[in-house]
Amino acid sequence: MTAPVSAIPGPRGLPVVGVAPRLLGDPLEFMVRIQRHYGDLVRLSLGRHTMYLAIHPDMIKRITQENWKNYIKRYPAMDEILGQGLVTSNGAHWLRQRRLMQPAFHHQRIARMASIMVEEAEQMLARWETYARTRQPVDIQHEMMLLTQKIIVRTMFGTSLNNDEAEAVGKAFNDTLNWAAGQQFRWWQPPRSWPTPGNLQYRRNLELLERTVYRLIEERRQHQGEHDDLLEMLVTARDADTGEQMSPKQIRDEVMTIFLAGHETTAGTLSWILHLLAHHGESERKLRAEYATVLGGRNPTPADLPQLPYNRMVIDETLRLYPPTWILSRVLVEADTLGDYELPAGAVVALSPYVTHRHPDFWPNAESFDPERFRPTAIEQRHKFAYIPFITGPRQCIGNNFALMEMQLILPMILQHFRVSAIPGYPVRPIPRATLRPGPMQWMEVRRVGEG
């Protein structure tokens, strides 16, 4: 027997606004606390709307794999920016786009991008030589954002943009995403049509991005086969059944989506890794020993990565503690059962990797940093859906292998040359916006390996 949706437990809220003030105030702490108190399916009243937070891995499996077609995405705040890209689309359109884009993210294709990742990391580390020599504090979050921004611009557009254009495009996209994230976490915001300073800047940024992307699409269509980058793959991709290619608008939407999925998320995780290692010396020592044995000071290649298991374990544990996608939602097409409850069509169900990754039944001492959780034997014994940093199932992030390779290459390069230390007086806490990033600033000190 299943219980009605009205029987799902949840915290009592205030009149009119429900629990919205608490959810907007400190959503991470609030969601972890209500899971402990109310269980694995929690009703959240948000004034006129109700959301159901599904936490248990069995429910994650149901939503993302067993009955995934019944749980659709709906992100109106991002529609204008991302259009009908992979993150926001559903149904036949999503399936076609996924099929068209899959070859661009094949592991062999991604491995060919490794040289760009290494070259950009080398340029960043050359800049760090000055920071180390002068003892100048470094904003690690800013450095990682700049690095991953350059990588995604080059892997997407190759040499089609000069340095100034690439920097302008990267900045415009960052500003656009930050603006959109801010819209979702305010009690009230003026309509986008109002000529406020923020709205006007948003419009200028979006116009710059679209003007640049459409220009490059047209150039590629006139000179196909002359480039080896992601944009070339999108422009030349053909549907195996119909022979159709993507329209310029579809390509534009996927370019914007790849920027979202392949830039800020990776930057945030790399920043968190360096923060955690600065406070866990034993893990840092294990990493350095592994690098010394396998790499001996040279830059890593994709072929080296299977020989660097602890490197991957540190990344996985960081993604567990601070998953970039900390919350997402789905809307039921038809009624479905989650746990002991029947949810109606139209119900909004939220998933939170941040909370599921702290479920006490699957993660003992969940707040502690312990890469040993990702030993192969430990992984085999754990529920497959207890760890979902890239979600899972058919709608798993298409760029997960790109992001993982990027982090696995960059981290050894940093730690073989520099020690990154926390600076007292600059506490770091998770800032939940479009992604989960460290904040408010992340000032750290870098020193050459072997110094003091």
Cβ(366)–Cβ(349) below 8 Å: no
Mean pLDDT per block of 10 residues along the chain (452 residues) reads 93 90 90 97 93 98 98 85 91 93 90 96 97 94 92 87 84 81 64 81 91 90 84 90 91 89 88 97 98 98 98 99 96 97 97 98 98 98 98 94 97 98 90 86 88 65
pLDDT of amino acid 182:
67
Q: In angstroms, rounded to a whole number, what is the distance separating the alpha carbons of residues 259 and 270?
A: 17
Of 160, 192, 190, the residue nearest 176 (C-alpha):
192
DSSP state of 50: E
Q: Domain locations in the chain?
A: 85-280+391-452
The token duo for 271 is 């920043």
pLDDT of amino acid 187:
56
β-pairing, 49-54 with 436-439?
A: unpaired
Cβ(111)–Cβ(303) below 8 Å: no
pLDDT of amino acid 321:
99
In a 3-state reduction of DSSP, which class is residue 341?
Answer: strand
Q: What residues form the annotated binding site?
A: 397
Of 351, 357, 401, 354, the residue nearest 383 (C-alpha):
357
pLDDT of amino acid 389:
97
pLDDT of amino acid 27:
94
Model confidence pLDDT, tens digit, residues 55-112 = 999 999 999 999 999 999 988 778 888 899 998 999 999 999 999 999 889 888 999 9
- The pTM assigned to this predicted structure is 0.95
- For 243, residues 6+ apart whose C-beta sits below 8 A from its C-beta are none
51 vs 36, 103, 122, 299, 359, CA distance in Å? 18, 36, 46, 47, 20
Q: In angstroms, rounded to a whole number, what is the distance separating the alpha carbons of residues 159 and 17?
A: 50
Give Cα 405 distance to the centre of its chain: 14
Residue that the structure tokens 């800047």 belong to = 201
Count the alpha carbons within 13 Å of 330 in the hemisphere toward its beta carbon: 27
pLDDT of amino acid 176:
84
Q: What residues form the annotated binding site for heme?
A: 397
β-pairing, 341-343 with 348-351?
A: unpaired
- For 180, residues 6+ apart whose C-beta sits below 8 A from its C-beta are 77, 78, 81, 434
Q: Give one DSSP letter per residue of 59-118, joined into a string.
A: HHHIIIIITGGGEE---GGGHHHHTTSTTT--HHHHHHHHHHHGGGG-HHHHHTTHHHHH
What CATH number does the domain located at 85-280+391-452 have?
1.10.630.10
